[in-house]
Amino acid sequence: MDKVIVENLKVKKGNVAILRGISLTIRTHEILAVIGPAGSGKTTFLRCLNRLIDLEPELKPEGRITLEGVKIYGEGTDVSFLRRRIGMVFAVPNPLPMSILDNLTLGLRIHGLGGSGPITLERVERSLKAAYLWEEVKDRLKESALKLSGGQQQRLCLARSIMVDPELLLLDEPCSGLDPISTAKIEEALQGLKREMSIVLVTNNVKQASRCSDRTAFLLMGDLVEINNTDQIFTNPQDGRTSDYVSGRFG
């Protein structure tokens, strides 16, 4: 089952091409890892999927992306609803300067889905448990989210993004600033979450891609070099550049 179909996605900044025609699909209930050296367009690709790229008016995406058959860049797309269906976790944890609970319920309040009451609290507990954070914060939900450690903050951001039940979750190098234990917790959380949604994991860490993804896409200088099952990419890559990168010969 294909969740998202990307066809010939191009992004230019002035005359410089950042993405040069990417075509791939994201399947339901899979973790798709996107790897590639810095500057290969991984983050730009991710930000096209939930139209966060709209925040940078100098970047103009071309091509076609559909989420369950509906064009993401179509006329009259409800961007707010689109972003409710497509959650995102950023490279640098960005909890907001409010309580842990308010951080979690922000999405509900934005979309007019309530924000208090027993149903919401149940949801909060479920999300925090899915993000492996419940035990650490269950007694301090009213405290400021900024008091949490970096790893806890990132798991809070993960919990926050799944509060509104997205179908697709985008993660932009979510573990780049975290210690190994926090990283392991997030990777574990992702394995549980993929039962409910599709996940795109952009990562600088090739080992992380091999550990926890089902399929892997390798981007290089804005080109999609190869996409295949993760086993294949790491044991039997079809392209010489892929094998050089995953074996650590460059990048």
Partner 1 sequence: MRKKITESVIEAIIHISASLAIVGLVLIFIFIGKEALHILTSSEVRQEAGLSRLFLPHSPEPGVPKEFAWQPVSDIPKYSLFPLMVGTLKVTLVALLFALPLALGAAIFSSEFAPSWLREIIKPSIELLAGIPSVVLGFFALMVMATAIQNALGLDYRLNAINAGIALGLAVIPIVFTVAEDALTAVPQSFREGSIALGATSWQTAWRVVLPAAFPGIFAACVLGFGRAIGETMIVLMSSGNAAIMSFLPTYPLRSLSATIAAELGEVVHGSPHYHVLFFIGTLLFIFTFILNLIGQLFVERLKDRLSGSRA
Q: Which residues bind partner 1 (CB under 8 A)?
A: 50, 52, 55, 57, 79-84, 87-88, 90, 92, 94-98, 106-107, 109-111, 144, 146-147, 157, 160-161, 164
CB-nearer residue toward partner 1: 82 or 184: 82
Question: Which of 52, 189 has the CB closer to partner 1?
Answer: 52
Nearest to 135 by CA among 125, 148, 145: 125
Chain-centroid distance, C-alpha 145? 21
d(CA 4, CA 24): 8
CB of 88 to partner 1, least distance (A): 4
Which lies closer to partner 1 via its Cβ, residue 59 or residue 82?
82
- Least spacing, CB of residue 18 vs partner 1, in Å: 18
CB of 164 to partner 1, least distance (A): 7
Q: Which residue number, 131 or 227, has a Cβ lying nearer to partner 1? A: 131
Nearer to partner 1, 57 or 117 (CB): 57
State which residue, 3 or 83, has the beta carbon closest to partner 1: 83
Q: With contact defined as beta carbons under 8 Å apart, do 237 and 247 qualify?
A: no
Q: How far is the CB of 212 from partner 1 (least distance, A)?
A: 22
Cβ within 8 Å of residue 136, ≥6 positions away = 152
> Minimum distance between the CB of residue 140 and partner 1, rounded to whole angstroms?
13
Other CB atoms within 10 Å distance of the CB of residue 65: 21
Shortest reach from residue 5's CB to partner 1, in Å: 22
